[in-house]
Structure formats: structure tokens, C-alpha cells
Structure 1
């Protein structure tokens, strides 16, 4: 099972985050998240799951020299990269920490954000309660997450498409349906949810989609897990590589207020 069209090696996690951020889609949704965050000069803004610091510079510009930006990530390599990248921003701090037990005082932040992080954490509900704890009254949280249950990859054999998506939602992503569940979870954690924005990018270029979805790598794992047969997987990949290609998945931006 192979195709010359697709990436076969798993990219470094930090490089992958940079790759997504550099796409038109990445720039577009991140810009919208920043608009919804409504950062003001002098505020304290926390980027939870900040990765290699991709968004810390933009947040630092928004708070100006009078504010503070705190990046938190559980991965030491990500923290080290973020510290290096933001060395020129005096307003930025980066801390090693877990979203389930944040290294922040009660009511110490004006704004918080998470970007494609809650789909991976062990307990999203607990993480949301922690975020609620550190936000000041009237503070705002903006979250961006996909709902992988909405993933559509067109193929003449609909059963293959269904099996692929079922593998993604069952096993590939820990909290695969988190995007559409965030408003309910946020309300349960004590937030008001004034706005939910659904964005559904449509991929017509198979290589652009592969750069985000890892089509062959995911297909191989689906075979190993018994969701696809080797023959079915090869037919699946052959059609995707030969086209015409279409894939789509809905991404939710959820605005929550303390």
C-alpha cells in the first residue's frame, strides 16, 4: 500500500504546527480567532498549548508593551522553541504546564485562547474548569477546534470513505468530536457562550489536503486497526491520488465569557 503522491513520514510535531499556520487556511482562522479574542493594550493574555510560540508574537503586539502574554505548553521542546522565538518580546513569558492544572493564579488573566489543543487533552471538561478559574470576571476565552466527525473525503466507494472517517473519530484523535461539543462543555464549566463560528474549508488540491490530513499515514493506521483492508486502502489511495479530489471538515471557533 503506497502512493508517490503522499507524504509517508510523520512530520515533527512542531514543524507540523508551523506548516499549518503558514497555509492560507491557518492564517485565516487564526486571524479570526484574534479578532474574536478582542485583546486590549495592557491586558494579560494566556495562550494555552502555545506550541513553539506560533501565535505569541501577534498576541504581544496586541497587548503592547504595557501588557503580558503567557504561553503554556506541556512539552519541554515546545517551550524551549517558544522561548527562543519570542526572545525579542519583553512582554512574553513561556511556562511549562498542564492544562488540567495550570501554573497560574486565580483570576489572573483577561484573555485566554486554545488552538487545536482540546482535541488532544485527557479531560477537556477539567481543562475548561481550570481556564475558568484563571480568568477574571468578564474575561474571554476563544477556542478553535475541528469536529472530525464532519470529515468528508469524496470517493466512488462510500463505504471506504465512511471507514476512513470512522477510524479518525474512533482512534486517531482522542476527542475527535470536540469542536461541536465545546459550547456545551463551556457552559457546564461556568462560561457564557455568546458566539459560535463554523468554518468549513474545502480542499480541492490533494497535496494541500495531505499536508494537513496525512492521508496515506492515516490510511496505513486504519488498516492496522482493522477499519480498512489492504486492498480497500490501496483502491482508496489510488483514487485520491488520481482525482478529482474533494475533502472538507468543519472547524469551530467558540467564544466563551467568564
Structure 2
């Protein structure tokens, strides 16, 4: 599949599985912050193909319940197939703006890199507040794409970030907004942490940050000069590579 600029897009499920495989540290921290135990019910909104459902299912054991929700039928099908033999895991097609659950259904809720894509983050957070029980915990992990640091040509790094923020991601700086939006939705915000995983392998980073495809898109859109963009990519691919994103981790609670 190609986007409007004619550049092929990656398979969404494969991309999400790749990110899950290489972003282990912040994901483990997000899981620890959920404080999962047997018997608890947990909602994973924007679960994608289910890359993170297994660790949550292990934590709540068969006495608990893990519900993954995604708006994409292909993601729901992939996750349902993956967990067909885990009775405590359910995967549901749904929209975070209008969750198909009764009030106070869950003890825990999480979103990981999904709020950046929704039409109205505040409305989604309000829905999460509704479906959590009083005292229920919310944990959210979101990047800030304007803060992607790449060692090399600073101006091209900035131009790349501006293009991604303005064109490729709906809520590109949602990470820095999490605490404010959660409070506005009615949550008690406990803490905001940051994680900055460091990538030294260009090929691996290219799978996660899509440097090659998005630079080509930026070139075709006129945001980066072709010669400059191609030189930047060549330097990244052959040099002593380093890149790091900034990820915000929100801990919040529904008031009692």
C-alpha cells in the first residue's frame, strides 16, 4: 500500500510487532507501573495485533481478564488468532471515543503509542475514566515526535521532525500533553516519567522511525531537498549512528 505521495507504507501489524520487539525497556516499565495482579481486569486500548497482551495475561493469570480493543478489523483478527487459546484474553473491535463497556468495568487501563493517532485524545481519556472503577489505574505511553534526536545534520533532523509532526502523525506531540489532558478528563495524575531508548543500529532504527520512507515522502512533498535528504540518509546508514526518541509515561488514577 502506498500513501498519497506514492511511497509504500509498511504492514501495520508487522510494524507494531517490530516496535514491541525493540522497545522492551520502556514497555517493561509501563507494565510495572500497571501493578497487575491475579484477579484484576485490564483494558489495553489500541492493542494492535496484541504484542503486549501476553505479558498482561501472565500477570493477571487465568483468574483475571485482559481485554484488547482496536479500531482496525485486521488488528483484531490478528490478535484474536494469536490468543485463541488464552481464555482470560478477549479482543474486541471498538472505538476509543465510545467504548463498548459499562461504567466501572476495569481495574486497570493502558494505552501505548495509540493516543497519538486518535481524533480527540481528551474524549478518549474521558471514556477511559468512565470504564475504570473508582481508584482504577491508567497508564499511558506516548512519544513526542518533535523530540526525535538523530546525530548528524541538525537542520535535516529538524526538517524531518517537522515533516513527521505536520504530516505523518495526527497528535505528534501528545506525549508532553498527557498530564494536562488527563487532569482535564478528570484523572488524578500521579507522575510523568520519560524514557529515551538509544538506537545504534541504523537498519533497526529505520524499521521503527521509518527514516528512509519518510525522508522520501518529505522530499516529494518539498519539505527536504532531494540531494540533502539522500546525503543525510547515506550518512546515517554508513556512519557511527545514534538516534533516540523521547517517550512520556503517564501514571494516573480515577478518583475514589
Which TM-score band applies after superposition, normalised by the shorter structure? over 0.9
In structure 2, the residue matched to 1:158 is 154
Q: Deviations over 1:227-250 (max 9, x none)?
A: 101122122112112212221111
In structure 2, the residue matched to 1:20 is 19
Confirm whether residue 222 of structure 1 aligns to residue 221 of structure 2: no
Residue correspondences, number: 248
Tell me the SS of whatever aligns to 2:116.
coil
* In 2: Cα distance, 1:44 partner to 1:119 partner: 24
* In 1: Cα distance, 2:21 partner to 2:197 partner: 15
Tell me the SS of whatever aligns to 1:89.
coil
In structure 1, the residue matched to 2:70 is 73
How well do the aligned residues superpose, as a CA RMSD in angstroms? 1.3
* In 1: Cα distance, 2:135 partner to 2:221 partner: 46
In structure 2, the residue matched to 1:11 is 10
**CA positional deviation for 1:61:** 1.6
In structure 2, the residue matched to 1:40 is 37
* In 2: Cα distance, 1:223 partner to 1:9 partner: 14
1:182-193 equivalent positions in 2, closer than 5 A? 182-193=178-189
**CA positional deviation for 1:40:** 2.1
Q: Deviations over 1:185-222 (max 9, x none)?
A: 00110011111110112222211211211111010111
Give the alignment's TM-score, normalised by structure 1.
0.92
Runs of 4 or more, structure 1, over 3 Å off, are: none
1:229-244 equivalent positions in 2, closer than 5 A? 229-244=225-240
Give the alignment's TM-score, normalised by structure 2.
0.93
Q: Which consecutive residues of structure 1, in runs of 5 or more, have no partner in the other structure?
A: 1-7
In structure 1, the residue matched to 2:246 is 250
* In 2: Cα distance, 1:159 partner to 1:27 partner: 30
Worse-matched range after superposition: 206-215 or 176-185: 206-215
**CA positional deviation for 1:60:** 1.5
* In 1: Cα distance, 2:78 partner to 2:248 partner: 27
In structure 2, the residue matched to 1:147 is 144
Q: Paired residue for 1:173, among 164, 169, 176? A: 169
* In 2: Cα distance, 1:245 partner to 1:61 partner: 36
* In 1: Cα distance, 2:37 partner to 2:137 partner: 12
In structure 1, the residue matched to 2:82 is 85
